[in-house]
A and B are shown apart, each in its own frame.
Chain A
Amino acid sequence: MQNFMQDIRKDFPALSQQINEKSLIYFDNAATTHKPKQVIDALTTYYEKFNANPHRGAHYLSIKSTEIYEDARETVRKFIHAKSSKEIIFTKNATESLNILAFSYAMNLVEEGDEIVVSILEHHSNLLPWQQVAKLKGATLKFLYLNKDGGIKDTEIESKITKKTKLVSITHMSNALGNINPIEKITTYAHQYGAKVILDGAQSVPHMTIDVGKLGIDFMVFSGHKMLAPMGIGVLYGKEALLKEMKPFLFGGNMIEYVYEDYASFAELPFKLEAGTQNVEGALGLMTAINYINEIGMEKIQAIEADLTSYALEKLTNLDEVVLYGSKNSKDRGAVISFNIKDVHPHDTASILDSYGVAVRAGHHCAQPLMRYLEIPATTRASFSFYNTKEEIDFFVESLKKVRRWLGYGS
């Protein structure tokens, strides 16, 4: 394990930096992860050897770019166990994927009086698009609330998802608390009423094996940058029959069949939903990142991250000055820990930790309604990746202990 970790960390140049004369401890992985040199090198090679506009050219570089782009699509398909590569649409991030679903799918599905169900845990990106649809269509947005543990109870699901529900859009793993939601239960329940289920996989796809078929979901979204790939590339997965019904979201080059002055017909899936020049290098980066993850093995990644999380949870539970949010049971959560230090605003905590080289996030984590629900203005969040270590957690905890003193409290 020791050696394995040393090897792994060598793959990530950013991890061996000094920040403020301290070794960087990067615990902001839920925001974005660092990139292994395999991904960085793949991009460099792409620029040096390939780089052309795919799908449109008869020349060598264009053919290569097309191959790379479509290989990336197939790699994503396998990774999430989708049936067909037509079900994989490349977008710029999870947020765009959700907006496509809101405006090109839900706007045609939801009618006045219908209900859309989300949870109070949602990231703004999985909330604002539904507020828009609800407003424009005269539908109602309903929230699944949490029990004390941060979990969603069966009774909550059963009472909120009803025959009025047309759509459930829910996060798999909360970026703010780390909680993992009971997706299979929700899909089974939603499908009873014929409602469609969208999974926000931004936090789960990077950290657990995903089988869209087993989960029973209709759509899923995620972002490359949270899973070792570059920013600027995201994915929208949808069941082929459903994507087929959808009208295009962006209109322009690449997504057309015939174009007349006053009329145009559109290409088949997946191209119908990919307008303009696509981010080929982003797709290549995502493919390379997935290959990297597969090489380590998702099960190993999950085991390492679960181990780090329970180690950190235990240490933090032992600190009197720390208030923890989210499930106490590390089985119900991913590698995200939200907490506060008594009497200290999370921004001060984050700045002080930063001075020790420890990068954590402070704020509402794009989940203002959740913060309001928990009656806290903000939290401090430490989120781990498989490349983090227990030694880093030890140092982080030691640094945390100094925070109150910096702010003039006895301890």
Chain B
Amino acid sequence: MSGINLKVKIGSLELKNPVLLASGTVGYGNEISQFTDLSKIGGIVTKSISLKPRKGNPPQRIVETHGGMLNAIGLANVGVEEFINSKIPFLKEVNSTVICNIAASSVEEYVECTRILTEEDAIKAFEINVSCPNVKDGGLEFGHNPSAVGTITGRVRGATNKPVIIKLSPNVSRISDFAKIVKSEGADAVSAINTLVGTAFNIWTKKPKIKNITGGLSGPAIKPVALAKVLEISRNVDIPIIGIGGIMNWQDAVEFMIAGAAAVELGTVNFVNPNAGIEIINGLTEYCEKINIKEIKEIIASYQL
């Protein structure tokens, strides 16, 4: 093994390397484990969980676009109880850091989910999704309203001693304003970005290609936007950032870390290359060797403007 140290810290959360698998793009870990060795991955962020199971949106839920895809899954998930009973046991065995992502339709639901799930030893941190663009009764309003995001952060903070990461919406004028508020309300870190709102039409039926009308845009198409949001937060707020958006290879991951991210999450790439996480981790090691540094954390926010 090379002597490169890939460890990073997100607040008090230690990760063996900065590569996480993003919520909604790795399920609860079991399916993807057939294609990749999850024990090598820095961390797994589980599919957004709500208090009760959610069926999700009717089809069609996804469509490919140039360099990206739109999704409107509608936060289909098994609910807290089933998550604890049938998903946590697998996650316990994985030997990776498990971050539990929570999405809810009310402040109370966020708090309740956190309160229940904080009891689970397997869960090392929470990522609070205040930014899912596909849920009509929740997400959107929260994510675009600074005071709502502040309230959720403060209340969730009060419900757990574990690190709290707030996942921010990119569909706002100044994402750094939101990062400031969540920091002041006690969040340990932010993750950015969730998907951009987008749509596509079938020109013959004149119907939206996605049943939900709009969906969330992810994939390499959004990488420049995601990088700009991470940089904006990094230049304006002193808080650890998890960078997300269009990462396809280790070069992309490095770009995010240079722009200010202490760790990264891989989303859409998992669908195309379920082993991407490990390839990226290997690439990061090689990069450190090439630029002659011993610890990956040296490159975090190392931008030369």
* A-B complex is real: no
